Each structure stands twice: as C-alpha cells, then as structure tokens.
Structure 1
Amino acid sequence: MSTPPAPAPLRFGVNYTPRRGWFHSWHDFDEAHAREDLAQIAELGLDHIRVFHLWPLLQPNRTLIRAAAVDQLVRLVDLAGEAGLDVMVDGVQGHLSSFDFYPEWTRSWHHRNVFTDPDAIEAQVRLLTALGRALAGHPHLIGLQLGNELNNLVEHNPVTPEQVDHYLDTLLAAARDGLSGAAPGRLVTHSAYDAAWYGDDHPFTPEASARKGDLTTVHPWVFSANCAGRYGPRSPQVRHLSEYGVELAKAYAVDVDRLVWVQETGAPEPHIPAADAPEFARSTVLNAAGCTGLWGVTWWCSHDVDRSLADYPELEYTLGLFDSSGRAKPIATALATTVAELRATPPAPEPRATALILDCAPGTRSVSGPGGAYFETWMRLRTEGARPAVVLAERADDAGYLKARGITELVRAAEG
C-alpha cells in the first residue's frame, strides 16, 4: 500500500505595499526603492509577496496594454526573486485600500459595466492573457490572480450571480491561457472580500469562491460585520476568525482536498490596538495553521501608508509590518518569530472529526458571519475546546463525503 505524499510546507508571506508613494509609486517605478522594501520583507523570513499594479496604468485604452507598465511588473517579480521571495501577481486593480482604480474607458461618457459589458470583459481577457504570457517564464512566479477583491466594484457595476459566474469563468480561462507556457504548478485564482461569505444577497457567492480557480482564497478581516467591535480585540472570535474562515471555505468546496489560502488578514487600528497586534498576529497564524488543507497565510500588509498621503480611512495608515520610515514594528517581530517556529516544527493537524451543520438557505448567509447564530455557536464550541469543521446541510447525509473529510460526528447549530 502506497504512502500518501506529505503535504507541501505552509507558505507565509505579505501583501506588498511600497513604502514610498504607496501604489502610486508605479507612476515612477524605482528599482532601488523596491529592492530596499523587498530586503526588509525577506529579513523577516517570509517566503512570498503578493503584488498589485494599477489597471489604468496597464491598460489606459481598451485596446492598448502598455509594454512599459508590464515590464515594470515583470521586473518587480525578478527583483523579488533575487531577494528570495516568490510572487503572486494580481491582474486587475481594481480596488485597493478603499480606492477604486478604473481606466477612463470604463467611466463617465464611456461608462461600461466591468462585469457585464462584453467589450470590457474582452479587454480584461486581453490584459490577463498578456500578463500571463509576460510572467510565464519567471521561476519565482506563484501564479496569476484575476485582481484584488473584485467584488468591491459591484456597487457601481450591478451584476447577478449568474453574470459573476460567467465573468469569473471567462477571466480564469484567459489567465490560464496566458500561463500555458509556465512551469507546472502555477496557480490561477480569484479573490473576494468577506461579503461573498457573509452578505445575504451579495452577487459573488461562497460557491464561486470555493469552486472556481485552483484554490480558495479568504480575506477574514476583523472589521467585517464589526467582528472586533462586537466581541473585543482579544476575544476568541477575533483570534480564531481566520481559522473559521478556512473551515467555512472548505465546507463550500466540492473537492475535499481543495486548498484554502488566508490571503489577507491584518491588525487594523483601532479595531486591534497596537499593543494587542503582536499577540493577534501570533494567535491568528497559529490557529489557521491548525487547519488541514491550508496553503498558507499572507499578511496585510508590508509597509504603512505614509501620512503625507491624504484621504485614507484611518485604519489603512497603520496596517504595515514596517512603519512608513521602514522601521520594523513589534507585529513584524511577532510574525517572524511565529513563522520561524512553524517552520522548525511544521504543524500536522488531524482532520476535524466533529462538524457543525450549516443550514444556509438563500438570502441567509449572514448567519455564518460575526453576529450570526451559526458563527456564535461555532465559536462557542471552539472556545470550549472542540475543533469543529463546517458541513453544509445538503452534504450532511453524504456518508462518502463525510468519510473523505474524516468527519464522524455531526452537530446542529440549534442543538449547540
């Protein structure tokens, strides 16, 4: 009888926010500045970054992709590789830290719904294909993601779940086509902020997140549904939030072996006071590492936004592991120490034998978010020492599925 292959080592990284000029630095990309930032990240013992170019700079006209901007992105990937860091590239930005970046050909007199307009979709196909082809031969590339939290754009681009499915399928195929010449194992993914999981009628669905792309990405933020405000910054609900996000995502997957990536989590002030941030980071990473099927954790973010830049929400200015002068903050030390410990003694979590049944009828997704009855039952069980998995009600009678996940006991939320 053959022995199943050992799981791949967990990945630990950070979302890269340039220290000088934030993402506006793409307007005058400086290799020396990037090298300095990347060296600081590598010194923490992290193994990868996630990077974001700006859509208007890459594709200022629907039929024009600027070679110089693509070359900047490729160069950053290579600089990261020189620092010992692998890179995940997000293609369509889209949304970053409360700002939306639309090319002018989608706006005002030329307004096009970026999710439904055929010309706008075709333009994004061209962009993702071009990025994939430019990046395919670079050994430090992890893969290509469609864009950062594209579901943040639904307010100005009304869309139905069926149209979202078409949009994601089309763009994922384009990214795969672009990377078709890459070495095996390159990822093609997409991401959504927490409304996809907790928003009752949000058009981006948990099923789309958990079934499209090569793995599931989750962005479990403590301000979503006022989690930290409801329960407190040191609460179990806050410190187990990323763990819960992984388990919730696994429930919606069809493939029981599908990996989940905690792709964004961070310590936003005042939701997490600075004094609590190091322990929050440590507990978040350790709790997530107790999940089977975890790909890795990528912290948000590398560097604080400089306060000389105006109009950001207050929490955006202090999310970095490094401050805006480049000094490592206590949270950076805590994260580096935790990662080193997990690398020295890799976790080997057992499957979760007990599962809490999630009966989430259409329009009731919020029961599984902070403040919801299901969320609170799961957290109570976790606080009492259980390690509950999540199982959708429609899979609760599927003996083969439960066996594949190692589940031997089911608990209904109402029975708590």
Structure 2
Amino acid sequence: MTAVLNAKTVNYYPANAGWTNMWTAFDPVRINTDLAKAAALGADTVRVIVFPQTFGYPTPSATYTARLAQFIGLADTNGLDVKLTLFDWWSNYTDIDNSVIWALSVLHPYVDDPRVITVELKNEISPGDATAMAWARQLIPAIRATLPAMPLTLTVDGTSGAPGLTSLKSQLATTPPDYYDFHFYGPSERSLAEIRRAQAAVAPAPLVIGETGLSTVSTSEGEQGAYLARVYRAAQVAGIGSVAPWTFNDFAAGAIPANSSVSTQPAQYKYGLHRTDGTAKFAATVVNGAWTSATTPNSILNLGFEAPTANSPWRQYLPQAGAAAITTDLPRTGLQSARFTGTTRTGSGLPSLLTSPITPVQAGQSWHAEAFARGAAATGITELALSWFDINGAWISQHTSNRLPTGTTTWTLLTVDAVAPAGAAGVQLHLKSGDNTGTVWFDDVALT
C-alpha cells in the first residue's frame, strides 16, 4: 500500500485515441514515446482504463488482453507501475456472475505481478444506484479471493465530492476497499478544505487524489499550472502522498469516441499536460516540480508580470468596466507591468486583476500582500484587496490596502495585512483600479 499511497500517477490516453479508441487503434510506438515522456516528467505510475464492451464480455478477447499485456510491458520498460481501472462505461450491474468472470479473466495474469500495484474496480461509480452498490459488494470479495494482496479502490464522480464518498463508504461497510480515490475538479483555492472534507468522509481509510485538473479551453495554460500547484500544495498539507493530474495529453478532434457524451464537451479536449502536437504546457513544468522536488513555488503566479501571457494565471475581474493590459511601457523592474486605463465600475464593484496563492488558506493564518502602483492623472480608487471565501464559495469579507493617491505619482507601495477570518477556505488577491479616467500601473506583487 505504501507505493500506492505515494504513487506519482499520471492518467493516460494517447492524444489521438482516447477512451476505447486507445484499444481499438492500439499504437505501441506512440504509447511508448508518451510513457517515456511521463517518466521523464517524474511519474512512477500510469493509470490505464479498460472497457468490457471493447475487450469482449464476459470472455475477454485474446487480442485485447494481449494489448493490455503489451501496455503493461511498455510501462515497465519505462520504469512505470500500473494502476488498472476496470469496468469503465459499464452499467450492467445485475450481471454479477459474468462480471466476476470478466474481471478475473482480465486480472488473472497479474495475480503476483509487481508491475500492477492497484486495481480500481469501477471508474466513478454512482453511490445513489442501489444496484451498482450491490454489484460492488459482490465484486470486491470475489476479486480479493483471487488477488488477496492487491489493493482495491473505488471512485465517485468529480461533482459528488465528500458527500458521495460518505455514501460510498457507508454502503461498502461490509466489504470496504483498501483505500478511497478522490476525483477533485473544484476551485483550487479551496482545495485544502475540500480534501480534508473528503478525508473525513472516508476516515480512517486512506485517500488518494486519482484525478484533478483544469481544462485550458476557456482558461490560460498559466492558470491550469497554478490550479495543479495549489492542489499539490494542499495535498501536501493534508498528508496525501498521491495526486494524479488528468490528463497527460490534450485530445485531437475525433480522438474521443463519437458515441460518448464526453466527445460533445469542448473542455474535455484540453485537460492535458501536453498539447496534441506533443509540446508541453506550463502545467507540465509544475507537475515535474511537484513530483521531482516536492516544490510548487510562488513564481508560478507570475507576480512580476514577466511570464508570457499564456503562462500567466492572472485573471480579469469585471473586464467590462476596464481590463488590465500587460505592457512594456512602464515597468518598475524587469520588462513588464500591468496597466489599467479609463476604467469605470459595475454594481459588483471595481475591475481588477486577480489571482489566488499557492499556499492553502486556513482560518487564523496571517497573510500579507503588497504591490507597487504608479499613476498618471489617475482618478477614482486604486488599491489591493484580499477577498475571503468559505468552502462553498460564498464571500465572507475583504481587507483592503492603503490607496494610491490620485493624480500623477511615482511608484508607491500598497500593502495589506490580514488574518484569515473564521470559516475562510480560500482567498483572492485583487489589484483594483476603478472610476479611473487616467492610467495606473502595478508591478512587483508579493503574496505570503
């Protein structure tokens, strides 16, 4: 179990062949290339998912079991263990006998095989489905009878969270898995609170994070990297040793089987650490640091505005009232700064640039934020704000800095110090400039 609970696992499909297509269009050369890249990134385990309807049910096809064996061999060649997920895209829960036959047929070659370190019985089983739960209570002991030393796990979907895990654990009380697997796709700035809630739901059983990530279909690659950095840091604080990014590759058009609802969701094509051409996104660098040195530094946040736009996690808030531009016209240090010009306000407040820290928020912590600001014929309000949110995303309160004087000023340090209020699970740092008919620049931000 130690290896499982500390595994540096990556979820994997080829960029051109996701889900069942990986097996029907099996390409060992491409797979080997990808697994070598995963190992170089710092992974030591790869999760692979198999499908009864593709492999053949209830008797798996020799063709597909050979492909699975070849995949496991390729993983081993690249120094990777395997986490094997069964019964994906599966709902025939009344057919228990044939389910057992199929599972044991797939698993039998790996009874004493150290290359396969854990088995996930079913990807994202529904704890609200009584028939599915009855099926799981039969399958777990059946698999254990043949593979008594194999750690078994189950997951619920990424939106069920801790309540789903609570229900899953309750219904498997007589035949519990060896550990539970949490799929986390919630707001990363609140990830520590969500992880601890999930841990409490399954305690005293151990927990891993088997999937987490952010699609770049509508966010920057920089924010994807910061998202994963926050989750890795929160897991470290919570004492969780295994966090698996979803997923290794983006998916090309046509890569996801057309008969799947997943294929109709644009976000599903852009969760990868690598683009479809094989080049690494910023998130790959973040994961490499988390895996190889257990570091997720604040430099990920681009606090000096020097990173390429694609690699910056800064987000616009209320851009309809004025969007910040990253410019080279007046940096305090380095080459770039953030500029607001001609801003207004909305009923929701002042426009801003915002980000959240890598370090997770805990109530009672002391926080400090600072930035230098400079004005040219500035009007209105220019300040920093720390905005606090509870575990459900509800706004609690904010703390604001000293304000930049109006008019034309030199670089002026704005600072805000605060203690995270009771119930705080996340914080956002806002660089605000509203009702400003002139221009304001921000540079050299710090957040600790």
| TM more than 0.5 | yes
1:55 is aligned to 2:52? yes
1:188 is aligned to 2:166? no
**Of 230, 250, 274, which aligns to 2:199?**
250
Task: Return 314-323 or 26-35, whichever deviates more.
Answer: 26-35
Q: Which residue does 2:76 correspond to in 1?
A: 81
1:12 is aligned to 2:41? no
TM-score (norm: length of structure 1): 0.64
Give CA-to-partner distance per residue, 1:222-261, whole Å, 9 cap, x none: 3xxxxx5xxxxxxxxx2332x3343122222353xx2110
**Of 269, 276, 294, which aligns to 2:223?**
276
2:421, 2:151 → 1: CA distance?
A: 31
Give 1:170 shift: 1.1
Q: How do residues 154-303 of structure 1 correspond to structure 2 at under 5 angstroms?
A: 159-160=129-130, 163-180=131-148, 184=149, 186-197=150-161, 205=168, 207-208=170-171, 212-222=176-186, 228=187, 238-241=188-191, 243-255=192-204, 258-270=205-217, 272-292=219-239, 294-303=240-249
Gaps of 5+ in 2: 297-361, 365-389, 396-419, 428-448
- Structure 2 counterpart of 1:159, one-letter code: D
Give 1:333 shift: 0.9
- Structure 2 counterpart of 1:381, one-letter code: A
Higher relative helix content: 1
**Of 31, 40, 44, which aligns to 1:43?**
40
2:250, 2:422 → 1: CA distance?
A: 31
1:7, 1:89 → 2: CA distance?
A: 14
Give 1:380 shift: 3.5
Give CA-to-partner distance per residue, 1:260-314, whole Å, 9 cap, x none: 100000112356432311122112101111113x241111001111124464311
Structure of greater relative contact order (alpha carbons < 8 Å, 6+ residues apart) = 1
**Of 21, 24, 27, which aligns to 1:27?**
24
Give 1:323 shift: 1.1
With over 3 angstroms needed to count, the CA separation of the structure-2 counterparts of 1:370 and 1:193, relative to structure 1, is farther
Give 1:75 shift: 1.8
- Structure 1 counterpart of 2:9, one-letter code: G
Q: How do residues 307-322 of structure 1 correspond to structure 2 at under 5 angstroms?
A: 307-309=253-255, 311-322=263-274
- Structure 2 counterpart of 1:341, one-letter code: S
Is contact 2:44–2:80 with CA below 8 Å preserved after alignment? yes
C-alpha RMSD of matched pairs (Å) = 3.5
Give CA-to-partner distance per residue, 1:101-125, whole Å, 9 cap, x none: x5xxxxxxxxxx623x2xx222211
1:144 is aligned to 2:119? yes
Q: What SS does structure 1 have at the residue aligned with 2:212?
A: coil
1:53, 1:194 → 2: CA distance?
A: 19
Q: From the CA coordinates, give the structure whose radius of gyration is larger.
A: 2
Q: What SS does structure 2 have at the residue aligned with 1:122?
A: helix
1:125 is aligned to 2:85? no
Q: Which residue does 1:66 correspond to in 2?
A: 61
**Of 372, 375, 381, which aligns to 2:424?**
381
Identity rate, percent: 19
Give CA-to-partner distance per residue, 1:6-25, whole Å, 9 cap, x none: 99983222101122322303
Is contact 1:164–1:204 with CA below 8 Å preserved after alignment? no
- Structure 1 counterpart of 2:196, one-letter code: E
2:172, 2:158 → 1: CA distance?
A: 11
Is contact 1:14–1:49 with CA below 8 Å preserved after alignment? yes
> How many residues end up aligned between the 2 structures?
305
- Structure 1 counterpart of 2:147, one-letter code: L
Give CA-to-partner distance per residue, 1:196-224, whole Å, 9 cap, x none: 43669x995453489821101100113xx
Is contact 1:42–1:85 with CA below 8 Å preserved after alignment? yes
Gaps of 5+ in 1: 1-5, 95-101, 103-112, 223-227, 229-237, 345-351, 355-367, 385-416
Higher relative strand content: 2
- Structure 1 counterpart of 2:84, one-letter code: V
